[in-house]
Amino acid sequence: YATVDGEAIEVGATDFARDATFGYTSSDLAAFLAERSGGNIREADVLRVTLEDIRTGGVDAVVGILGAARDAQWAVIDATEYTDMEVVAQAVARLEQQGRTILTRCAPSFVRPLAGQSGARVLADEDIPVGGADRLPHGLVVVGSHVGLTTQQLAVVQERSGLVEVE
């Protein structure tokens, strides 16, 4: 699920799912992998770490599931909060200490716990100078999704800053 305007909706019904380049129909992560791989990854072969595994079994349970992966096997993680991702990050760290190599393909929200950082905070308007003496003369904005929200956000940046576009 994704939270859109305060409401939880299946990710397969979001703007992101309708993206012209990266679109998908599946809301289940294992089914998503099967869909995006064109069937090269079988849904039944994907390991799953559930919220119950994370919240009830903790780091030990997640280590057990991820540690069972063999031959570049895919695993999907259900997490809804940073605390869930912190448990998974601790499990990944423990497996790496044991000599396992874990390759992650993840949303940006997992990077912070994986790096051992806490205190996630979304930038507020006042954190980003857009004019006057505090405005910096340069910066980089990377846009990786072609959905309505991204288009709206980019339009505001373009309007405020005289952004130069490179495609």
27 and 67 fall within a common domain? yes
Q: Is 77 helix (H, G, I), strand (E, B) or coil?
A: strand
Same domain for 142 and 79, yes or no, is no
**Is 102 in the same domain as 150?**
no
Distance CA 20, CA 34 (A): 19
Task: Answer yes or no: do 113 and 127 share one domain.
Answer: no
pLDDT in single tens digits along all 167 residues of the chain: 888 888 989 988 988 888 877 788 999 999 999 999 999 999 999 999 999 999 999 999 999 999 999 999 999 999 988 899 999 999 999 999 999 999 998 877 888 888 887 765 666 777 766 666 666 667 777 777 677 777 888 888 788 777 777 77
Q: How many helices and strands in the chain, by DSSP H and E?
A: 6, 4
What domain range is 140 assigned to? 123-167
Residue 129 shares a structural domain with residue 95: no
**Angle, CA of 17, 20 and 24, to the nearest 5°:** 30
Shared domain for 12 and 88, answered yes or no, is yes
* Residue 150 sits in the same domain as residue 90: no
Q: Of 110, 38, 40, nearest to 76 (Cα)?
A: 110
- Give the chain's domain count: 2
Is residue 143 within 8 A of residue 149, CB to CB? The reply is no
- Number of residues written out for the chain: 167
